[in-house]
Amino acid sequence: MRSLRLLGVALAAMFALSITALGTATTAFGLPDVSILPKETFPLDLHFADNGTTPGKLETSTGALLEGKGVEVLLLLSALSALGEFHALFLNVELPKIATKCNSSGDLAGEVLITGEWHLVPISTATGAHVNGIAFLLTNLVLITCGSTKVDVKGCALAKTSLTTNNTDLTSTSGELGSDNKGKALQREYLNDLPKLVKCILETEIVGSGIVREGAEVVNEGKSITLTIPTTSLALMFELTGL
């Protein structure tokens, strides 16, 4: 199994944020930034690993497309920003209808590695109650092989997070990825800095079927998981700024 903790040491480059996704930077509406405390050093590393116990599944309108047990997540931030890199490794993944193990390219049977950008984004700006989310944007189409069946996944997943405008001196954050049990994620839109609503959804396709369906990633049955800063990190606390 790949170790995301080791991957975090090597990750340093940031992906460019699409202007289409987040609008222009000259408007009055503020997007949150994540900053570290004075005298600390980037990168900031938020990590979750469960030793193969957390259930996960990728749902569509036809039911569970993929199921697994175990997840490891790394969020990396290299500078003061609202965006960084993420790596998510799902374990014991299978095509449930035929109990066939699945894997992403270059990984062992049962292992699916997803990479891309994560963005801290507002999902509500009600007066006095800024609610934020973490948008996980897949930078490439992910091809998952399950025996003779191949599944394409692309797009974006949006997790509700515990981070708010009032948080200070944080060492962890929680996130929730759930669905309506009909293949649609509970969080599907966020606000850019115009502000305008931006859709954040996953698309799935069984290769060769010609049918694209919306997908919803469900982790821990929709209940929150907590990502924490390892004690070996150069940055041991963070806070939100820029609002």
DSSP state of 221: G
Q: What number of H helices and E strands is found in the chain?
A: 2, 20
Q: How far apart are CA 104 and CA 142, in angstroms?
A: 7
The domain segmentation of the chain, as residue ranges, is: 41-234
Alpha helices in the chain (DSSP H): 4-10, 19-22
**Could you read off the pLDDT of 49-68 as tens digits, one per residue?**
998 999 999 999 999 999 99
Strand partners, 33: 241
Residues whose CB is less than 8 angstroms from the CB of residue 232 and which lie 6 or more positions away in sequence, other chains included: none
The pTM score is 0.84
Cα–Cα separations (whole angstroms), residue 200 to 112, 141, 190: 21, 15, 7
CATH fold, domain 41-234, is Porin (2.40.160)
Q: Convert the pLDDT of each residue in 204-223 to its tens digit.
A: 999 999 999 999 999 999 99
